[in-house]
Every structure is written in structure tokens, then in C-alpha cells.
Structure 1
């Protein structure tokens, strides 16, 4: 089906048909990713016998490299591979990593994780960019499309986030899976769904027309020709060389510190260099994108406690008063559950407000995201008032906090993906999407540092003491989020001018 880009973008109705195929590929990839994420801290503490503080630092390092490598993956996709080849190569590496963990998660944990880190870097930023390519510039339906796509992400997160950790802990299918093989099966499930994702994408390519094809070089006579094959094979070879390096970096958190303090400034310098080659209006839009990126670091640093300190909090301090569900499973998948139902409604709300000329601009939506995030963390603080003397508190109240935090995520994350495609220049779309995820890497790194700080409970402290330490920490995080939200709303007129009419 040789569709032109114009034919794809001139679709009728609310959504382009190609978005559904990309939806399912991303859904299964997110099953793999969030299934892995949900298992990391609990597996390190219960199986590898790491302390709480060390597990948080390892979690932060692992997740930071996952998102940091999306910048590299986006850059290689822009310059050499194209979005399709990059996505497929990333998927293969993720499958290999999951199979290594399925075979022997105790002895080859960091090797398997390193394959999935590099694989995710090639997969994640490029499928989001292809979604953006389905729409013409300034198409008012773009936000609704990304909200739908984000629902797909969270359907995968819901299934993977609950099933993998529940199988590993023996909360599900324990009568079918021997105790010694539970974690092998949990990691193996991630590999199976990743295979499904890639098979779906093979069929998806037929309807994508020119979207995601490898870039071509311009000859002296103005004609185009394919890039040299050695460049493509060089990317594959280099990414394999990265795996042992990532393995060393992730297994020793201090190396992650050095990396994060280096890569951020270098990335900014490269962006500033690229900004010298664009027009003044394009430069202003890139400055606006940078403001969104910087604030997103703080957002994810607070939000991503779900994979770190909240995982420990769920295991040690929550009961099962929510339909008997496993607290870790709820922590990993509760937000995704709410998003599946709320994302379409919030998307329709923005459309309705737009018709009434009442829709908040993008920067105000970011501000609202921080305010909801802060309120959610104040509710997490409030769980201390429902605790018994053993430090066990209500999963129901915890889940209400996840609901409020989800409203904050819906104000920021799907719109963030959309605004990066709108504010980027044509030649920098993969890079800017990579920078968006690089900001998430810094957020994950900050989250690990925060979680490690919260885990420093005094020696000899009771479980109730630990609960007080964690909940007081969540109160502080809630305050920081509220302050950031107010600042964003106050500077929104300035940022709106930089955006040059982009909505």
C-alpha cells in the first residue's frame, strides 16, 4: 500500500487509521517495559538481597539509562536508521534482554537489564515520532491522538505492571508455576509480548507510506540516494558495544552520577549549536521546548517514586483492603488503570473547552499537572493517619492518591509528547523527542536519589517509624510540586510568546 504522506494526513474523522496499529505495537512494548520496571526494586531486595537504599539507587540508575539512551536512539534514527529500522532493532535487543533474564535472572540480572536499556532507547522515541507524523502541522486533533496513544501505553502498563510482579511474588498462578521458576516466568512473559509487538509492527509498515523510512543523502546534482550500508551496520555494532558499558554503569551507581553530570551539559551544548542553524522563530520555539523539558525533570523525579520508594512502601506498609489485591501490583498498575478510563475523557474535555474558548494553554496544563501531583502526594502523606501500630495503612487511601496523581500525569505527559513534535524543526524531531525522554532520564535519576534518601531509616527503627519517614518525605515532595505548578502558571504568558502560535 504505497500511500503518500498527504494521503495519510488527509484522514477523515478524529483519528488516522494507522494510529491503531502503532497503538498495539506500543502497548505490548510498554507491557514489557512496565512489567520489568515493576519487578526491579522488589526483585533486588527479595532475591538479590540489596538494601532498600541500594535498591533505590540501582533503580534510579537503570531507569535513567533507559531514558538517556532514547536520546541516542532518536539521534541515530534521525541521521542513519530511520524510525522503522531503529524501532525493529530496539525490539530485538529487548527480546534478547528479557530472554536472558528469563533464563537466569539471579546471575545475569545486569546483563539482561543492559540489553533492555539499549533496546528501549532505540524503540521508544521513534514510535512516538511516527505518531506525530500522521498529522499535519497545527492539526487540532493531534492532542486527542496522542491522548489515545497514551491510553495504549497505559493498557500495556496496566497488564504488565500487575501481571509480572504478581507472578514473580506468587500472588498469581502459584499453583501452576513452581516457586523456583516464578521469576523466570515473569521475565519470560515480557519477552513473549515483545515478539507480539514486533510482529504487529511488520504488518503496520504497509500503511505508513514514507513515514519512518531511513534518511537519504543529497547528491551534488540534487538527486537522492540511500546512505552507505556501513553506516547502518556501524550503528548496530556500536549499540552492541554499548551493552557491556551500560552493564558496568548500571551495576555501579557512582558511575551513573558521573554520566548524568556529563551528558546533560553536552546535550545542551549540542542543542545550542543546532539552534544557531535555524531561523529566529524556530529558535524561540526550541527555547519554549527547553522550558517544558526542564520542568519535566522535576515532575518525573517526584512522580517516579512509584517504581522506587513507593514499591518498598507498598510491600511493607500497605494492607489488602482493596478487593484483596496485591499492594505492589496496585502501585505498579493503578495509575495505568485510571489513565485508560480518564485519557479519552480528558482528551474530549480539552476539545470541549477549546470550542468554548476556555481551554488552558499548554504551559498552564503543565502547571495543573504539578498541582495535581502535589495534591496526590499530600494524600500519600495522609495515609499515616490511617495506620495501625504495626505501620500498616490503607491501600484504599493509597489508591485515591494514585487517582489524583493520574490527573496530573494526564495534564503533562501526553501533551508533552505532542508539544515536542510541534515545537521541533523538521530535522530535529527525533533529537527533540530524545531530549524529552532524556529529561525523563534525569527525572528517574533524581527519583532514585530521592528514594534512597527516604530509605535512610534509622537503625533499629520499627515499621511504623519507617512509615512516618516515608510519609513525611511525600509531604515535602507535594510542597515542591505545588510551588512548581504556581511558577509555571505565572510564566505562561512569556512561554506562550516563545511558542509562536503553537497550541
Structure 2
């Protein structure tokens, strides 16, 4: 017998039991995604002979399209597929893309990435929306639930982010895997992670009741007239037809500029059309959501140096000793933040609950502001690595400490951002708003690539000392910008809270 929505939402304790199934599906999907992401810049420079500037721009293009397609995935999920079918379709596309990369990452690099980009767009926004549906409107436990879910995201990011690039570079299992096949195995592991994710979700969905069912289903939460079956098949067909187009657009970074200059304005036009049909109260909440979205672009533009300039910095300017252990500095760069989130996210979630019961929990706007403050302090710590260097090679320990500080910033902003999108959005627009949240991350990735490309103008033949000075000076500037943004956000918090009305 299928569970009713009221039965699911009237759970006892801190977390609904369904969150654990979604936790593990997201964990393995993130293993696939972050495993791929962590390899991109290093692979492009050392296997495809890209320059550092090219690699930064290429990385930005790939990530920008990944997050831009979350809007498309959210739109189709809301209108036609539903969250469950969208998730399965996205997962299958990611598996196909990872298999192509595993077969020959040099030959099928952009073709495989095109599948992964589109697949992530269908998968990513919808599982986050289903988490929101586990809670009643106004449930104070929602932020804690998203913080726990965020730990699942980062458990996958930690494992995939370190293991895949470490295997590719020969830091792990080098005696078992021939050098010629290391990158094949590394990309192949991403496919294995995605298969596990879909198998897990096939069991989890039996406990979700009406959550995630496609529009028009008799038991769906939102009662609407169903689309004809051919519309669903049309979505699948158009997706496959778009793969070659996305391959071309990703491989030619100049197309990224055209895409980013058009998708944002078109999305806003569509959103304003949807807003015009809402009540005054709902419109004010969406204006508040848009303020959070705009600030998140700047946050991710600074934060996402991790996959671009910091990947180059780790390879060129860091030793491989972390608290006395020999480790891959690129693997640490890709996975340390996720490791810290695994440790801190549940504790921070419980802290929000504890403070909430005593009516002392910081409101969402203040949490966002604190996210920028910690981000700025973390980038000042990255700047400080120059003071712990010898001949341009700095301490991996200090670098990792900086990632710890940055992680506090991410925990104050990202899981809370997922939660606030579900709180401020009317039910019929939740998938779209979650997609716009990730579209903002797309613009952040795009901005991050431009920033990284500017820092990469240091000559690649220059000595490590010169590279260290250029990159750390850039990180100091980014730290200052983050601190200013945090201060502005805190100053205007009364205005934003007024727009949010009863939402806290």
C-alpha cells in the first residue's frame, strides 16, 4: 500500500526515514560527477595538451553547461516527466557518458562529457526537490534535513574526488593498473557509481508515496491534466538529438559566451511570465529568492576556483605531505572540502535545531552573509600559503586548513540555499526555481573560469615562485570581494526578511 503524503510528513524524530535512501542515491551520483570533475583540468593539461588558460576556460564551459541544464531538467520534470522519471533518465545518460570516457577518454572526451552534462541536468535538481517534499510547510527541521542530505552529497564527492584523480595520476593502485589504462579505469569508476545510485533509488521510490510522481498521475501531489504519452517520448528523443550539439558547444568555448548571454535573460523572461500569474504574497517571496540567487552567483564564482585555478595551483605549487602522509595534492584539493562537510554538516544541522528551539538560530539571510565571510577568510588563508613556501612549493597542510575555513562558508550557504528555494517557491514552480538556483551556479562556474583564466596568464614556463605569487595575490583579491559581499548581505537583511514574510 502506497504511503500518503501526510504519513510521510508526520514523521517522528529529527529526520524522515526516506531521506536516507535519497541520501545514498545522491551520494553515488556525486561520486560519478565529482570523480569526473576532479579529473578534468589535470587531464586536459597533461593528456590533451591544453594550455592552463584553455583548461580553465574549458572547465568553466563544461561546468556552466552542467548547471545550466539543471534548469532544463527541472522544467521538464515539473511539466512532463515528474521527478522520478527525470532522475532515472538523467542517471542513464550519465552512465552512457562515463562508459564512453572509460572506453577511450582521449577520443571520446567531449562526446562523453555531453552525455554527462545533459544527464546531470535531469538528475540533480529533482532529487533535491523531493527532499523538500518530505517536510510540511513551516517545519523547522527542514534545514537540518538538507544539511544531512548535503553530507551525502559530499560523501560521494569525497570518495570520487580523491579516488578517481589519484588512480589516473598513479597515486592509487599503480601496481595493479597498467599506466596506459589508468585514466580508463578512473573514468569507468564514475559509471559504476551511477549504476549503484539508480539501483538504490529503484528501492527508495517505493517508500516515497506520491512524492516525485509525474504530472497527471492519479496520486500526484499537484493535480493537473496529464500530458499525452508521446510528449514524454519526445523529451527522450530531443535529449539524444541534442547530444552532438552540446558536444560542439562544450568543445568550442566561444559558444559558452553566446549561451550564457542568452540563457539567463530568456530564463528571467519566462520566470517573470510565471510570476505574473501569482498572488502578491507569492511574488514577494520569489523576489527574495532572486536576491539569494544573485548573491549565490558571486559566491560560486569565487568558491569554484577549486576545479580550475586551485587544481593548477595544487599540481604546481604544493608538496604531497599532509600531516606526515604522502597524498596526491590534486586529490586533496578535490576532496578535502567534501571530507570536512561529512564531519561538520550533521553537527551544524543539530546546532541549527538546538538554536531554533531556543529561538536564537540565525535567520537565512544572516547564514548567507556568514557564508561569504568564511569564504573570504578562507581565501586569505590561501594567500598565506606564500609565507610557508620554499622555492615556490608550499605546505599542503596550510592549503588544507584554508579549505576547512572555506567549508564553513559553503555549509552556511549551499544546503540552506536548497532549503530556501523550496520554502519560497509555490509548489507548481519548485522544480523551475530549483533549476534556476543551479542555473545561478552555472553563471558562477562561468565567472570562476574567467577569473581562473585571468590568473593563468602567468607564463607556464615560469618558475614555481612566480606562479605562487601570481595565484596567491589573486586569492587575496577574491577574499576581499567575498568579505564585502557578506557585509552587504547582512546590511540589507531587514529588506530581504520583509519580502520573505513568514518564511524563516
What interval of TM-score do these two structures reach, taking the shorter chain for normalisation? over 0.9
Q: Is the 8 A contact 1:372 1:404 kept in 2?
A: yes
Q: Is the 8 A contact 2:310 2:333 kept in 1?
A: yes
Alignment of 1:55-204 (within 5 A): 55-204=55-204
- Unpaired runs of 5+ residues, structure 2, are none
- What residue number does 1:413 align with? 414
Q: Is the 8 A contact 1:8 1:134 kept in 2?
A: yes
How far did residue 321 of structure 1 move? 2.2
| 1:285 equivalenced with 2:305 (yes/no) | no
In 1, the alpha carbon distance for the partners of 2:75 and 2:224 equals 21
- In 2 relative to 1, CA 427–458 (structure 1 residues): closer, same or farther, beyond 3 Å? same
Q: Which of residues 387, 390, 403 in structure 2 aligns to 1:388?
A: 390
In 1, the alpha carbon distance for the partners of 2:356 and 2:200 equals 35
Alignment of 1:11-90 (within 5 A): 11-90=11-90
- What residue number does 2:320 align with? 320
In 1, the alpha carbon distance for the partners of 2:49 and 2:260 equals 26
Q: Which of residues 373, 376, 381 in structure 2 aligns to 1:374?
A: 376
In 2, the alpha carbon distance for the partners of 1:87 and 1:423 equals 23
In 2, the alpha carbon distance for the partners of 1:247 and 1:302 equals 27
- In 2 relative to 1, CA 496–364 (structure 1 residues): closer, same or farther, beyond 3 Å? same
Q: Is the 8 A contact 1:27 1:153 kept in 2?
A: yes
- What residue number does 2:214 align with? 214
1:431-456 per-position Cα deviation (integer Å, ceiling 9, x unaligned): 00000000000000111111111100
Alignment of 1:355-370 (within 5 A): 355-370=357-372
- In 2 relative to 1, CA 332–498 (structure 1 residues): closer, same or farther, beyond 3 Å? same
Q: Is the 8 A contact 2:418 2:434 kept in 1?
A: yes
Paired residue secondary structure (2:278): coil
Q: Is the 8 A contact 2:166 2:328 kept in 1?
A: yes
- In 2 relative to 1, CA 7–411 (structure 1 residues): closer, same or farther, beyond 3 Å? same
Q: Is the 8 A contact 2:215 2:225 kept in 1?
A: no
1:80-109 per-position Cα deviation (integer Å, ceiling 9, x unaligned): 000000000000000000000000000110
In 2, the alpha carbon distance for the partners of 1:249 and 1:441 equals 15
In 1, the alpha carbon distance for the partners of 2:224 and 2:284 equals 31
Paired residue secondary structure (1:216): coil
In 1, the alpha carbon distance for the partners of 2:460 and 2:225 equals 66
How far did residue 356 of structure 1 move? 2.6
1:175-223 per-position Cα deviation (integer Å, ceiling 9, x unaligned): 00000000000000000110010001111111011110110199xxxx9
- What residue number does 1:250 align with? 250
In 2, the alpha carbon distance for the partners of 1:10 and 1:92 equals 33
1:109-162 per-position Cα deviation (integer Å, ceiling 9, x unaligned): 000000000000000000000000000001000000000000000000000000
- What residue number does 2:450 align with? 449
1:28-54 per-position Cα deviation (integer Å, ceiling 9, x unaligned): 000000000000000000100000000
- Unpaired runs of 5+ residues, structure 1, are none
In 2, the alpha carbon distance for the partners of 1:426 and 1:93 equals 28
- What residue number does 1:3 align with? 3
- What residue number does 1:309 align with? 309
Q: What is the aligned-residue RMSD (CA, Å)?
A: 1.1
Q: Is the 8 A contact 2:28 2:193 kept in 1?
A: yes
- What residue number does 1:237 align with? 237
How far did residue 459 of structure 1 move? 6.8
| 1:473 equivalenced with 2:474 (yes/no) | yes
Q: Is the 8 A contact 1:306 1:332 kept in 2?
A: yes
- What residue number does 1:332 align with? 334
Moved more, 238-247 or 429-438: 238-247
- What residue number does 1:487 align with? 488
How far did residue 383 of structure 1 move? 0.2
How far did residue 227 of structure 1 move? 2.5
In 1, the alpha carbon distance for the partners of 2:226 and 2:428 equals 17
In 1, the alpha carbon distance for the partners of 2:460 and 2:93 equals 42
Q: Is the 8 A contact 1:217 1:227 kept in 2?
A: no
Q: Is the 8 A contact 2:52 2:460 kept in 1?
A: no
In 1, the alpha carbon distance for the partners of 2:310 and 2:456 equals 10
- In 2 relative to 1, CA 459–404 (structure 1 residues): closer, same or farther, beyond 3 Å? closer
- In 2 relative to 1, CA 485–5 (structure 1 residues): closer, same or farther, beyond 3 Å? same
How far did residue 461 of structure 1 move? 2.5
Q: Is the 8 A contact 1:369 1:407 kept in 2?
A: yes
How far did residue 464 of structure 1 move? 0.8
Paired residue secondary structure (1:227): coil
In 2, the alpha carbon distance for the partners of 1:282 and 1:150 equals 27
In 1, the alpha carbon distance for the partners of 2:151 and 2:446 equals 25
How far did residue 224 of structure 1 move? 6.5
In 2, the alpha carbon distance for the partners of 1:358 and 1:200 equals 38
